[in-house]
Amino acid sequence: MSLTRMRARRATINDVADAAGLSRGTVSRVVNGEKYVSAEARMAVEAAIAQVGYVRNTAARNLVTQESRAIGLIIHEPHSLLFEDPNIGSILLGANEALSKADYQLVTLIIDSDRDSHRVADHLRGGLIDGAVIVSARASDPIAAAVADIGLPAAFVGHPDGTPDLPYAAIDNVEAARAITSRLLGTGRQRVGMIASALDRDSGQDRLAGFRAAMGERYDPRLVVEYPLYTYAAGFEGMQKLLRRDPSIDGVFAASDAVAAGAMTALQEAGRRVPEDVGIVGFDDSSWALRCRPQLSTVRQPAGLLGTTAAELVLAQLMGLPSSPRVLETVVMWRGSA
């Protein structure tokens, strides 16, 4: 006595062909909307499809066509950033939009452990994906190797150094940081510091470098504090530390809006007025910026466009076109916080 199978075998193209009294070839042509099928054949096939409940097996199709029409987007962020950083959502949506338009499926793969890292690398190698957009890769992890391994068309968002020679979509963090710091200086501040973050990433390093460049002679390492992540908490603690180090501080560049928001809270709790007593500027022009009171002066980073551009970079490679790095414009948004 045997148990009844719960789920019936999926109908194949053969079942359709049989039901329609036609060949597999014809069925395939109908399914793919090709020319050269008679109206009657088409109708017969369509009826048969409905009758047997056929849906095409994409895996089999991919095997023969040698493409998947899917692009991976790999996110490798520290746990907390997935929550705090609004850019990443915009990047995702931007990439999705570009790919959707080209009729590619975006599949997002997240890396949150070594195990993930290897599994994702295998996924890339396996031919399940035609290309990849890589958000914040670590130079060391297996992803870069996998991409190189099989010459997978890929592009970075951002521009970590030490990574393979791939096209990227990025902004000029040093120039943008220099610009907003100069503007802050332009309000007449005498003692300006920075809450730097994520120095293990190119963006973190570059923003610090830009700050330093703008400060020139006035740069004082004692007025710079460093935190590993672009978080509200980093800003809050960082500002308290700066205040302790030099109570006369009257300006601060925070490495991101989240950091700036934390700093503003710390400042206000310490009884300093913003922007009268201390001016504060951020980076990103994320939703944080408008939420602060006063609203944040910051650098607008075109997060969505970064995603879109990176996606287009891999699309270009897929079409055999040359694709080279693209650096996008940023603009200083001057509001009430400085």
Partner DNA sequence: TTGTAAGCGTTATCAT
Partner DNA sequence: ATGATAACGCTTACAA
Footprint on this chain of DNA (rule: CB under 7 A) = 9-10, 12-14, 21-26, 28-29, 31-32, 35-38, 40-41, 54-57, 60-61, 63-66
* Residue at 169: amino acid letter: A
Token pair belonging to 333: 């948004």
Task: Kindly give, in sequence order, each residue whose CB lies less than 8 Å from that of residue 39, ignoring residues fewer than 6 positions away.
Answer: none
Closest CA to 157 of 187, 136, 182, 188: 136
* Whole-Å CA distances, 60 to 50, 57, 66, 67, 68: 20, 6, 10, 11, 10
Residue 205 interacts with, from DNA, its own copies, none (CB under 5-8 Å by kind): none
Sites for its own copies among residues 162-221 (CB under 8 A): none
For the chain, give the longest Cα–Cα distance. 89
Residue 119 interacts with, from its own copies, DNA, none (CB under 5-8 Å by kind): its own copies
Q: Which DSSP symbol is given to 223? A: G
**Minimum CB distance to its own copies smaller for 123 or for 326:** 123
Cα atoms in the Cβ-side hemisphere of radius 13 Å centred on 231 = 14
Q: Which DSSP symbol is given to 222? A: G
Whose tokens are 């393979």? That residue is 164
Q: How far is Cα of residue 168 from the mean position of the Cα atoms in its chain?
A: 12
| Dihedral pair phi/psi, residue 159, rounded to 5° | -150, 65
* Residue at 191: amino acid letter: R
Tell the smallest beta-carbon distance from residue 56 to its own copies (Å).
7
Stretch that binds its own copies, among 25-33, 95-103, 176-184, 329-337 (CB under 8 A): 95-103
Residue 89 interacts with, from DNA, its own copies, none (CB under 5-8 Å by kind): its own copies
119 touches 111 (CB < 8 A): no
**Minimum CB distance to its own copies smaller for 70 or for 209:** 70
271 touches 309 (CB < 8 A): no
Stretch that binds its own copies, among 26-34, 44-52, 105-113, 322-330 (CB under 8 A): 105-113
Sites for its own copies among residues 282-311 (CB under 8 A): 286-287, 291, 293
Burial of 18 (C-beta count, 10 Å sphere; 0-12/13-18/19+): middle
Residue 323 binds to its own copies (criterion: CB under 8 A): no
Residue 336 interacts with, from DNA, its own copies, none (CB under 5-8 Å by kind): none
**Minimum CB distance to DNA smaller for 8 or for 113:** 8
Residue 100 interacts with, from DNA, its own copies, none (CB under 5-8 Å by kind): its own copies
Edge-to-edge order in the sheet of strand 279-281: 224-227, 192-197, 251-254, 279-281
**Minimum CB distance to DNA smaller for 55 or for 145:** 55
Selected binder of its own copies within 31, 52, 93, 316 (CB under 8 A): 93
Residue 140 interacts with, from DNA, its own copies, none (CB under 5-8 Å by kind): none
* Residue at 320: amino acid letter: G
Sites for its own copies among residues 53-82 (CB under 8 A): 53, 55-63, 68, 70, 79, 82
**Can you give the binding site for its own copies, defined by CB under 8 A?**
6-7, 10, 53, 55-63, 68, 70, 79, 82-84, 86, 89-90, 92-93, 96-97, 100, 103, 105-110, 112-113, 115-116, 119-120, 122-123, 125-128, 149-151, 232, 261, 265, 269, 286-287, 291, 293, 320
